[in-house]
Amino acid sequence: MTNRKTLFAALAALTLLASPALAGAGGNGHGGGNGHGNGGGNAGGNGNGGGNGHNGSNGKSGASHGKSSSAPGRAKAKADDSTVDKTTKVSSVPKEKNIHAKLGRLNSLQRNINAYMNSKSKKFAAIQAFVTQSAKAKVAQAVAEAAQEKLDALNSQLSALTSLTPEQVAAMTPEDQAALPGKITDLQAEIAAQQTEVTAANEAAAAAEVGTDDASLDAALADMANKPVDAAVTSWAQGVLANKIDQTAAAMEAETTP
């Protein structure tokens, strides 16, 4: 009897010791034990021991969602490199040489008018002739223009006299009325003479133009130059010579003016 009680006590102790461990491991636990003992004269005994244990653990773990400060943000879109023309444009045209380096002896064309026209150099002769002829053509053209202006003025006077109305003629003094036909005749004769002068002046101007064209200039430049003459050189020479021609023409007009 004593041994049986001792056994039951030991079992109960083990159950109690196991319960906290199971509770700690499982989170929630329920345990129960019942023991009954009956002793009779026939030394019979019944014992029932029952234990129910329920271990369960329920937990919810929530995944944390957050935005890390180190997470990459939306980067500003960059221009598509494929749309950018990265081709470097390199001019295939070489830099134009300094015009004065191309002139050589033609740099002498920049001399003042006196040294210009008095030069004894044979290389300078063709240019001197071109400048002189161009100045003559300039003077001749001015003469032709002046002759035309005078003709225009005479024609205007004649038109004014021939367009008088009878009332206007009647309003004139008897002397002016008597002189009117003679004035008209004189003007007509003067106009005819002036027309002849205009024709001659235009012909003289046209004749003076000979030897002043671009071909003549190129020939004169080539005769003087010691380097090839191209379009750029000719253009430069035209600008320089224009002033020389004007000065020479002014001197010619001064000589012919009374």
Does 10 reside within a domain?
no
pLDDT digits (tens, 9 = 90+) for 106-160: 999 999 988 878 889 898 999 999 999 999 999 999 999 999 999 999 999 999 9
Does 40 reside within a domain?
no
Copy the structure tokens of residue 116. 């210009």
- The better pLDDT of the pair 106, 14 is held by 106
Confidence (pLDDT) at 9: 53
Residue 212 sits at φ, ψ, to 5 deg, of -120, 10
- Count: domains in the chain: 1
Q: What is the pTM of this model?
A: 0.60
Residue 65: C-alpha distances to residues 17, 62, 68, 69, 71 (Å): 42, 9, 9, 13, 13
Residue 204: C-alpha distances to residues 147, 195, 199, 209, 213 (Å): 12, 14, 9, 9, 16
**pLDDT > 50? residue 255:** yes
Does 13 reside within a domain?
no
d(CA 121, CA 3): 158
Alpha-carbon 90 to chain mean position: 16
Does 241 reside within a domain?
yes
Identify the band that residue 101 occupies on the pLDDT scale cut at 50, 70 and 90. Answer: confident
Q: Tell me the angle at which helices 231-256 and 214-224 cross, rounded to the nearest 10 degrees.
A: 100
Mean pLDDT, residues 13-40: 43
Instruction: State the amino acid at position 122 in one-letter form.
Output: K
Confidence (pLDDT) at 115: 84
**pLDDT > 70? residue 15:** no
Residues 6+ apart with CB under 8 A from 180: 161, 164, 169, 172
Does 84 reside within a domain?
no
Does 179 reside within a domain?
yes
CB burial of residue 156 (10 Å; 0-12, 13-18, 19+): exposed
Confidence (pLDDT) at 136: 97
Confidence (pLDDT) at 97: 56
Confidence (pLDDT) at 2: 45
Confidence (pLDDT) at 51: 41
Question: Which domain, by its residues, includes 205?
Answer: 125-256
Mean pLDDT, residues 12-27: 46
**pLDDT > 50? residue 24:** no
Does 165 reside within a domain?
yes
d(CA 145, CA 155): 15
pLDDT digits (tens, 9 = 90+) for 187-236: 999 999 999 999 999 999 999 999 999 999 999 999 999 889 999 999 99
Confidence (pLDDT) at 12: 53
Does 134 reside within a domain?
yes
Confidence (pLDDT) at 100: 76
pLDDT above 90 covers a percentage of the chain that reads 51
